[in-house]
Chains A and B, each alone.
Chain A
Amino acid sequence: MKQTAAMLVLILLFLALLDTGVAAVLHRAEAQGRMGSLVRYFDYGRSVPGKLARWEAHPTAYGNLYDVAWRSDILAISTAAFAEEPPGIGPVIRSYGMSFVNNIIRAAQEQEPGLKWDNHAGPGAPPNFTYAVFQEDRANRRKGDIVVLGILSSSVPAMAALSNRSVAFEQPAPFTYPIFQPDGAGLTRIEPLVNSARAQRGLARDPVAKQAWTDQFTTQDAFYSPITFGLTWLDVSPFARLVRRSLAKAHITQVKSDILAGEDYPYAEVLERMIVAFARMARADGQIPVVMAIQTRKPLNVDIAALTIPVLEREGVAYLATADHFDPSDVSGFVPDGHYKPEIDARFAAAFRRILETARFQR
């Protein structure tokens, strides 16, 4: 018994020594600006508030997404760019998506340089982000424009989240979006209390606003957890970061599974209503709605084509379902970070251009 206790104490002591040594090595590498993949590997496990604080303190840090994709900024840029557009510019592709949508339309532009494109996107943006920006950007579109709504299979569970920071643990871009809930025959928006990078930074000086935001976040965001947001002082320990990352990933996977199992949030019903409302608003404004249903390689994702195509066909909405053009279970079509290879995007782009041709013909 005494020997076992001694052994346990010694193990803890050596763990602490090892952890201190690793922390020192990582600190030195970071101080010298050598942010290699191993340093980032340990950094991924910092708490979400810890990562945001570091991004605030070091704006040039690798992968800093603090100021990215805030809807207020996107709308300000969109409004200014729209005001600059010449009146006779002709049909413009107004996209509301994420990197996958951007890659496809960029490839389409390479194939057809005359395409005009107005891009609104966020990293890994869920449908509640893309649809919300589409709604808010209404004044910055014209009759005859082609309006593209991106729906990413891996981001569907994030429809039950208020911010990317609670879903994307390793790189928690803090931009926010509303949660949509069924309300009668339509949808109601639950607005996040923080809607700009400035408001986010201001929380540090406004404890009342910070508490209100925390209360909203903890009660209405399905992904919020003390595992990802709590015990920020543990960030000093690389060992604790490794453990936190493992627990966080398990937690997020579990919440996603629960949502996709139909618990907690009626994502299928909300998505269907979004698509219907998207098509109606675009058509009411004389625009052509197009939906991009993008399937990522993750096998546990919702089958986005099976989920959306019935409503798209019922409503007569043009769509590009990536799974129709490339089997997402074939890992050879992806680059290591999970995006499609350029040649696969080119294939999607060709299909997208065929949709545009049909739209031009119908017009």
Chain B
Amino acid sequence: MVCYGWLLFRATSFAQIVDFTGRLFTGPPGLTIPDPPIAAYLAIAFMLVWDVLIERSGDVRFYKTWPVAIRAAIYAGMIYLLAFGATTATSAFIYFQF
């Protein structure tokens, strides 16, 4: 909804609003959304599990009662996941061969 609101305010003409709105519902070769990178899927899965644990325990700090070693392992995993997702797009063209 917010993104569509941007379209309304940033469009240069009513015709452009109609054009872009139409393309949103027609798929390629209209407007396209790139596939999310693997790191994004992993982070979504991680956040989902985290949320489920909060819901089940009723405590946002549910992990405080866990053994220190388990918590440290989870924190390490989170740091690794952050690094994994830090750069997901290449900054140049990648060639199999030239």
Question: Hey, which chain A residues are within 8 Å of B90, CB to CB?
Answer: 44, 170
Partner of B93 from A3, A18, A124 at Cβ < 8 Å: A124
CB closest chain-A residue, reference B97: A63
Question: Hey, which chain A residues are within 8 Å of B91, CB to CB?
Answer: 168-170, 249, 252-253
Partner of B32 from A38, A171, A243, A331 at Cβ < 8 Å: A331
Partner of B95 from A15, A17, A123, A167 at Cβ < 8 Å: A123
**Is A83 engaged at the interface, CB distance under 8 Å to the other chain?**
no
C-beta contact mask, A115-128 vs B, less than 8 Å → 1, else 0? 00000011110000
Question: Hey, which chain A residues are within 8 Å of B83, CB to CB?
Answer: 239, 242-243, 246
Instruction: Check if B28 sits within 8 Å of A3, measured CB to CB.
Output: no
Q: How large is the interface on B (under 10, 10 to 19, 20 to 34, 35 or more residues)?
A: 20 to 34
Instruction: Check if A246 sits within 8 Å of B71, measured CB to CB.
Output: no
Question: Hey, which chain B residues are within 8 Å of A331, CB to CB?
Answer: 31-32, 34
Complex Cα distance, B88 from A24, in Å, reads 22
Instruction: Check if A167 sits within 8 Å of B96, measured CB to CB.
Output: no
C-beta contact mask, B35-71 vs A, less than 8 Å → 1, else 0? 0001000000000000000000000000000001101
Instruction: Check if B98 sits within 8 Å of A99, measured CB to CB.
Output: yes
CB closest chain-A residue, reference B82: A242
Question: Hey, which chain B residues are within 8 Å of A239, CB to CB?
Answer: 80, 83
Complex Cα distance, B72 from A69, in Å, reads 49
Instruction: Check if A18 sits within 8 Å of B96, measured CB to CB.
Output: no
Instruction: Check if B72 sits within 8 Å of A13, measured CB to CB.
Output: yes
Question: Hey, which chain A residues are within 8 Å of B92, CB to CB?
Answer: 124, 154, 167-171
Question: Hey, which chain B residues are within 8 Å of A169, CB to CB?
Answer: 91-92
Instruction: Check if A170 sits within 8 Å of B94, measured CB to CB.
Output: yes
Give chain A nearest CB distance to B10 CB in angstroms.
13
Known: A6-B68, A249-B87. A63 touches B94 (CB 8 A): yes
The CB with the most chain A CB atoms within 10 A, among B69, B72, B84, is that of B72
Give chain B nearest CB distance to A220 CB in angstroms.
21
Complex Cα distance, B38 from A190, in Å, reads 43
The CB with the most chain B CB atoms within 10 A, among A99, A168, A252, is that of A168
Q: State which residues 307-339 of A face B: CB under 8 Å.
A: 331-333, 337-339
Complex Cα distance, B26 from A44, in Å, reads 35
**Is A245 engaged at the interface, CB distance under 8 Å to the other chain?**
yes
Known: A169-B91, A243-B86. A332 touches B98 (CB 8 A): no
CB closest chain-B residue, reference A296: B93
Partner of B72 from A11, A65, A124 at Cβ < 8 Å: A11
Sample (24) of A-B pairs whose CB atoms are under 8 Å apart: A6-B68, A7-B68, A11-B72, A11-B79, A12-B76, A15-B76, A15-B80, A38-B38, A41-B38, A123-B93, A154-B92, A167-B92, A168-B93, A169-B91, A169-B92, A170-B90, A170-B92, A173-B98, A242-B83, A245-B87, A246-B83, A253-B91, A337-B95, A339-B93
Q: Which B residues lie at the A interface, using CB under 8 A?
A: 28-32, 34, 38, 68-69, 71-73, 75-77, 79-80, 83-84, 86-87, 90-98
The 4 closest A-B pairs by CB, nearest first: A10-B72, A14-B76, A246-B86, A168-B92
